[in-house]
């Protein structure tokens, strides 16, 4: 994590800039025992780390059984870090619902454009529009915000993690129903939709909103308006989900809220950051692809004008990949990243 100065709110809700530069790392203390954690903190201090981001994949640790929510581990971790001069950006753990949520519930899972239902594992395997997902996500978010929102070590929040990084538009039955509702709210009458989309081409004319398909498998290209509007529908829904989590957190914490995004993700970043306090992004660009890093900086400094942005994730020495060869950075590359972000 390589960051600018952090935005903080005063008692009137106005975002001001803290006079401090943060240098930190993503941290997963739920993976380790107490001895390893103590060693980690010692090494963090030696490395000059003064902030840690954590919690984004820890839903199971917080709620190992449905309804049995306990945030005390992270309360203790935040206090322990703070006692050692390390502050925390706390995340909501909603990209990784536990097995109790997914097992025997294919209707809750993400479905890709080929109609394949995702299984449990990895992350982003659930549909974020499913009503039960929203219910459980709101519950865990509120428990976290209540437990740690007033702790002095919490300087910021990250909602979820990399929305729509590994998936794009979901094609499940929940999304189908919401899609038809969204179309009716947007176009009011099916005649207006037909007129706007030019559906007489290829006999694509519709007589009711529930006839309008999702852009799933088809012999050839879909109507471009169908594909474009479904993407917009999906982007609006994920931004609404982000807004709902932010609204819950703000009931219990004054610390500023962000999300870590990037250009290739299937989101509308301008809309996503509209109701968040500051913008941040992830980058694992190689030296050969440094232009993409600079492009991210130019975009993210404009999503919340007048406020600094954060580089929430980057790689210290390699381009970061678990699937293929990752080329090492040249000496000084990380320093160049940090300098480039300030100009």
In this prediction, residue 2 carries a pLDDT of: 46
Residue 195 structure tokens: 């007129």
- Domain ranges (residues) in the chain: 2-169+234-341
Say what the pLDDT of residue 188 is. 98
Q: At the topology level of CATH, where does 2-169+234-341 sit?
A: TIM Barrel (3.20.20)
Mean pLDDT of 262-289: 92
Q: Is 162 labeled as catalytic in the residue annotation?
A: yes
Say if CB 294 and CB 339 are below 8 A apart.
no
Condensed to tens digits (0 to 9), the pLDDT of residues 159-217 reads 999 999 999 999 999 999 999 999 999 999 999 999 999 999 999 999 999 999 999 99
Could you read off the pLDDT of 94-117 as tens digits, one per residue?
Answer: 999 999 999 999 999 999 999 999
155-179 residues labelled b (16+ CB within 10 A) or e (exposed): bbbbbbbbbbbebbbbbbebbbebb
Determine the pLDDT at residue 209: 98
> Is residue 17 packed enough to be buried (19+ CB in 10 Å), middle (13-18) or exposed (0-12)?
middle
Q: What is the strand order of the sheet 15-26 is part of?
A: 257-258, 154-158, 87-91, 51-54, 15-26, 2-9, 310-313, 280-282, 260-261
pLDDT of residue 323: 63
pLDDT confidence band for 17 (50 / 70 / 90): very low
Q: For residues 33 and 185, give the distance between their C-alpha atoms in angstroms, rounded to a whole number.
A: 52
CA 103, CA 81: separation in Å to the nearest integer?
35
Q: Tens digits of per-residue pLDDT, 218-252? A: 999 999 999 999 999 999 999 999 999 999 999 99
Query: Which two tokens mark 13?
Result: 């809700």
Active-site option among 162, 188, 270, 288: 162
Identify the pLDDT of residue 12: 47
Active site residue 313: yes
User: 134-146: per-residue pLDDT in tens?
Assistant: 999 999 999 999 9
């Amino acid at each position: 994590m390589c960051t600018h100065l952090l935005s903080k709110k005063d008692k009137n809700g106005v975002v001001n800039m803290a006079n401090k530069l943060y240098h930190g790392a993503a941290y997963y203390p739920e993976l380790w025992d107490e001895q390893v954690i103590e060693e980690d903190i010692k090494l963090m201090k030696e490395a000059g780390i003064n902030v840690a981001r954590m919690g984004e994949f820890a839903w199971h640790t917080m709620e190992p059984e449905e309804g049995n929510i306990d945030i005390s581990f992270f309360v203790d971790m935040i206090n322990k870090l703070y006692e050692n001069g390390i502050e925390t950006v706390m995340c909501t753990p909603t990209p990784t619902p536990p097995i109790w949520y997914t097992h025997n519930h294919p209707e809750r899972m993400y479905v890709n454009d080929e109609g394949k239902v995702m299984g449990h594992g990895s992350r982003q395997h659930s549909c974020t529009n499913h009503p039960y997902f929203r219910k459980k996500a709101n519950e865990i978010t509120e428990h976290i915000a209540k437990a740690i929102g007033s702790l002095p070590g919490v300087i910021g929040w990250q909602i979820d993690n990399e929305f729509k990084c590994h998936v794009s538009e979901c094609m499940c039955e929940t999304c189908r129903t919401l899609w038809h509702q969204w179309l009716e709210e947007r176009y009011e009458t099916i005649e207006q939709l037909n007129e706007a989309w030019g559906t007489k081409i290829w006999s694509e004319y519709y007589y009711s909103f529930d006839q309008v398909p999702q852009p799933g498998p088809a012999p050839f290209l879909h109507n471009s308006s169908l594909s474009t509007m479904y993407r917009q529908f999906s982007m609006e829904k994920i931004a609404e989900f982000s807004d709902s989590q932010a609204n819950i957190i703000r009931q219990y914490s004054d610390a500023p809220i962000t999300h870590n995004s990037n250009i290739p993700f299937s989101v509308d970043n301008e809309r996503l950051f509209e109701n968040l306090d500051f913008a941040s992004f992830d980058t694992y660009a190689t030296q050969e692809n440094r232009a993409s890093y600079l492009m991210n900086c130019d975009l993210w400094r404009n999503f919340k004008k007048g406020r600094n942005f954060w580089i929430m994730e980057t790689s210290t020495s390699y381009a970061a990949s678990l699937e293929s060869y990752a080329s090492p950075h040249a000496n000084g590359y990380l320093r160049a990243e940090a300098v480039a972000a300030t100009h």
